[in-house]
Amino acid sequence: MLKSLLGAAAAVSLLGVVACSQGPNEEAGEAADTAYEQSTTGTTDMGQGPAEEAGEAVDAGTTPPPADGTTTTPPATTP
């Protein structure tokens, strides 16, 4: 019973980590927040700072290009 309960808890926590992946802009914002905190207070607050939140918003607003190599915007034509 205990082994199955521990296995289930481990699986749920692993799913939580996978579902919570950060995009590149959010990671850059987190690094900026950490550097700022280190330079001003000498400590690091692991909560989300303003730069990390802004990076998360940028990651949520951007979509990756299509895998087939097509462009999402048609090329400009010259008259």
Q: Where are the domains of the chain?
A: 23-58
- pLDDT (tens digit, 9 = 90+) per residue, 37-65? 999 999 888 888 989 988 998 888 876 66
- Please give the pLDDT value at position 60: 87
Average pLDDT (7-33) is 71
Q: What is the DSSP letter of 74?
A: P
Cα–Cα dist 40/42, whole Å = 6
CB 47 within 8 A of CB 33: no
**pLDDT for res 11:** 57
What's the residue count for the chain?
A: 79
62 vs 9, higher pLDDT: 62
CA–CA dist 8, 10 (Å, integer): 5
pLDDT at residue 28, as a whole number: 92
> Six-digit token pair at 16?
């939580």
Between 77 and 34, the higher pLDDT residue: 34
